[in-house]
Structure 1
Amino acid sequence: MFEMIEQWAWIGWLVLIALFLVIEMLSLDFTFLMLAFGGGVGLITDLIGMPVWLQVIIAGIAAALFILFLRPPLLHRLRRGEDPAKSNVDALIGLHGTALADITRISGEVKLSNGDTWTARSSTDAPIPRGGRIQVIEITGATAVVRPVSE
Structure 2
Amino acid sequence: MDIDAWVWWLIGAVALGIPLVVTAMPEFGMFAAGAVAGAIAAALGGGIVIQVLVFVLVSVAGIAVVRPLAARQRAQRPHLASGIDALKGRQAVVVARVDASGEGRVKLAGEIWSARSLDAEQTFEPGQSVDVVDIDGATAVVM
* TM-aligned CA deviation for residue 87 of structure 1: 6.6
The percent of aligned pairs where both chains have the same amino acid is 21
Q: Deviations over 1:50-104 (max 9, x none)?
A: 0112201221111011101233224534x3673313679xx7xxxxxxxxxxxxx
Amino acid at match of 1:113: D
How large is the Cα RMSD of the aligned pairs?
2.7
Aligned with residue 35 of structure 2, among 39, 46, 51: 39
Mapped partners of 2:15, 2:137: distance in 1: 48
Which runs of no fewer than 5 residues in structure 2 stay unpaired? Answer: 86-134, 139-143
Q: Residue 26 of structure 2 corresponds to which residue in structure 1?
A: 30
Which runs of no fewer than 5 residues in structure 1 stay unpaired? Answer: 92-111, 116-151
Task: State the 4+ residue runs in structure 1 displaced beyond 6 angstroms.
Answer: none
- Per the normalisation by structure 1, the TM-score is 0.48
Q: Deviations over 1:14-33 (max 9, x none)?
A: 11110111110111121101
Q: Does residue 83 in structure 1 map to residue 78 in structure 2?
A: yes
Q: Residue 91 of structure 2 corresponds to which residue in structure 1?
A: none
Preserved contact between residue 41 and residue 62 of structure 1 (Cα < 8 Å) = yes
Q: Residue 64 of structure 2 corresponds to which residue in structure 1?
A: 68
Amino acid at match of 1:31: E
Mapped partners of 2:32, 2:82: distance in 1: 35
Preserved contact between residue 34 and residue 71 of structure 1 (Cα < 8 Å) = no
Aligned with residue 113 of structure 1, among 136, 140, 143: 136
Q: Residue 94 of structure 1 corresponds to which residue in structure 2?
A: none
- Per the normalisation by structure 2, the TM-score is 0.51
